[in-house]
Structure formats: C-alpha cells, structure tokens
Amino acid sequence: MEPRQSFDPAGAGMVLAGTAVAGIGAGALLGWAAGSWGIGALVGAVAGIPAGVFAVYRRYRGYFS
C-alpha cells in the first residue's frame, strides 16, 4: 500500500492561480494580436479557470481518490 499524498492548500492555490494567470496572459496576447486585448483576456479567464481546476485535480488526484 503506497502512502497517501498530503494535500497542501497553499500549493493547490498557487497551481490554480498560476494556471489561471497563464490562461489570461495567453488570451490577452492573442487578443492583442487580433485587435482587442481586453476581450482576449476575458476569453483567457473563461478558459484558464477550468484549466486551473483541472490542473489542481491532476496534481492532487491521489488525495481525492
């Protein structure tokens, strides 16, 4: 039996925030190239937040099982 991975709330928050900020940044960059960085950032946030939740789940999947 393998030891259960400990859950680090601060680490999970940083993974979530980092992924969301990366999505917002990528969306803003693509939006800037298309002519509207604000709409790109909004689209990046809409995509980045679920991606962040998925990243936290993948990182701590041993804890949730």
* Cβ(21)–Cβ(51) below 8 Å: no
Looking at per-residue pLDDT, the higher value among 40 and 65 belongs to 40
Q: What angle do CA 54, 59, 61 make, to 5 degrees?
A: 85
Lowest mean pLDDT among 5-9, 24-28, 33-37: 5-9
pLDDT, tens digit (0-9, with 9 covering 90-100), for 28-49: 999 999 999 999 999 999 999 9
* Cβ(41)–Cβ(24) below 8 Å: yes
